[in-house]
Every structure is written in structure tokens, then in C-alpha cells.
């Protein structure tokens, strides 16, 4: 059931009807006032608050001000979903140009976002991670041609990696072809914790 733009669970509605106190709410004149809950399915909003993303936007008449204004489907960022933005602390593993979903006027990028983790592919290298290979891929990490895609790794002692992250040094280096660079030879480091 959707009420005033908030998504209510059936247990919440049952508790509200029965008069049972509900965790996370306050009582005012014996009526439970729900705390806003925005779940993975999203909630309509006239703005995108800090810490939230949106996965679609439409122009609506008279809801978000006078005339037609954008209304966003906002949600909290989570791993492995599509988003019209890349939130802080996330990377993307693909981007597509979509019509009428992330913009009210034409095509705009839509990203498949990921929470950085060991052994995933990403279109950028997140802070605190390294990578053990990079490939040049067409139409996955860029809307206009080839772009690098990294196989990211959590740095650990003994890992062969293409960068030496903070807190590590290397005890050996090899020059390898096509593993750490999309354009020739590059160094592969054997990591050692400092």
C-alpha cells in the first residue's frame, strides 16, 4: 500500500489499525506517525536528497511546483542496480545511453553500479583497491567507443597486482604484456604489507 509517497508494509498497516505501538514511530494523540521509509523499489520525490540516487525521472504537472517539473524515483544506493548517477563509494561496471529514463529530454547515461569488492570488474579503480588485469572493452565502460575495465582486488600480502596501494610495498616486479596496461608492457608487482 502506498500512502503519501511512503511505502508501508502490511505488518505496519495491521499494527496501525490495531493500535499496537510501532517501533520507529512516535505516538501523537494515540495515532502512530510513520517514519519515512524508502526501500529498494524507490519513492517519488521532487528532489534527490544527499545520499540517495534516482533510477528514473519524469516531468509531472502540478506536483513539484507550478507547471511541469521533474519528479525522481529515488532510492538508497545498493550493489548491483541501475542508477542515473554514480554515488560516492560506488563504481560502475557498465553504462548505457537510454531514452526517457534518466533525463526528461532525450538520451542520458544509465549506470549499473557496484559496491567495490574483491574480484569484480569495474570501469574505474576505487580508492583502497588495486587490480590484477585491465582490458579494453567496447561499449561497456563508455558511451563512445573503447574504455578500460579493471578486475579489482582487495590488496593483500602476496598478491600479484598492477599497482602498489598505500600500506604496501613490492618484493618483486615483472614487466608483463597486456595484463596491467591496455597498450603494451606494464609492471606487475608482488605485494608485501608494510
Q: What is the pLDDT of residues 69-121, one digit of tens each?
A: 999 999 999 999 999 999 999 999 999 999 999 999 999 999 999 999 999 99
Whole-angstrom Cα distance, residue 47 to residue 57?
10
Give the per-residue pLDDT at 29. 40
The list of the chain residues with pLDDT below 70 reads 1-41
Return phi, psi of residue 168, to 5°. -130, 160
Please give the helix or strand (H or E) that residue 16 lies within, else none.
helix 10-18
* pTM reported for the whole predicted model: 0.76
Amino acid at each position: 500500500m502506498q500512502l503519501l509517497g511512503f511505502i508501508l508494509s502490511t505488518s505496519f498497516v495491521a499494527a496501525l489499525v490495531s493500535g499496537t505501538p510501532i517501533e520507529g514511530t512516535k505516538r501523537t494523540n494515540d495515532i502512530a506517525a510513520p517514519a519515512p521509509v524508502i526501500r529498494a523499489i524507490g519513492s517519488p520525490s521532487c528532489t534527490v536528497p544527499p545520499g540517495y540516487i534516482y533510477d528514473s525521472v519524469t516531468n509531472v504537472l502540478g506536483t513539484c511546483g507550478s507547471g511541469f517539473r521533474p519528479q525522481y524515483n529515488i532510492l538508497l544506493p545498493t550493489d548491483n542496480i541501475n542508477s542515473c548517477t554514480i554515488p560516492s563509494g560506488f563504481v560502475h561496471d557498465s553504462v548505457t545511453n537510454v531514452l526517457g529514463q534518466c533525463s526528461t529530454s532525450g538520451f542520458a547515461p544509465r549506470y549499473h553500479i557496484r559496491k567495490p569488492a574483491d574480484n569484480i570488474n569495474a570501469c574505474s579503480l576505487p580508492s583502497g583497491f588495486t587490480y590484477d588485469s585491465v582490458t579494453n572493452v567496447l561499449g561497456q565502460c563508455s558511451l563512445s567507443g573503447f574504455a578500460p575495465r579493471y578486475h579489482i582486488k582487495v590488496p593483500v600480502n602476496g598478491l600479484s597486482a598492477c599497482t602498489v596501494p598505500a600500506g604496501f610495498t613490492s618484493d618483486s616486479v615483472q614487466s608483463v604484456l597486456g595484463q596491467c596496461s591496455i597498450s603494451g608492457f606494464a609492471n606487475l608487482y608482488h605485494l608485501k604489507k608494510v
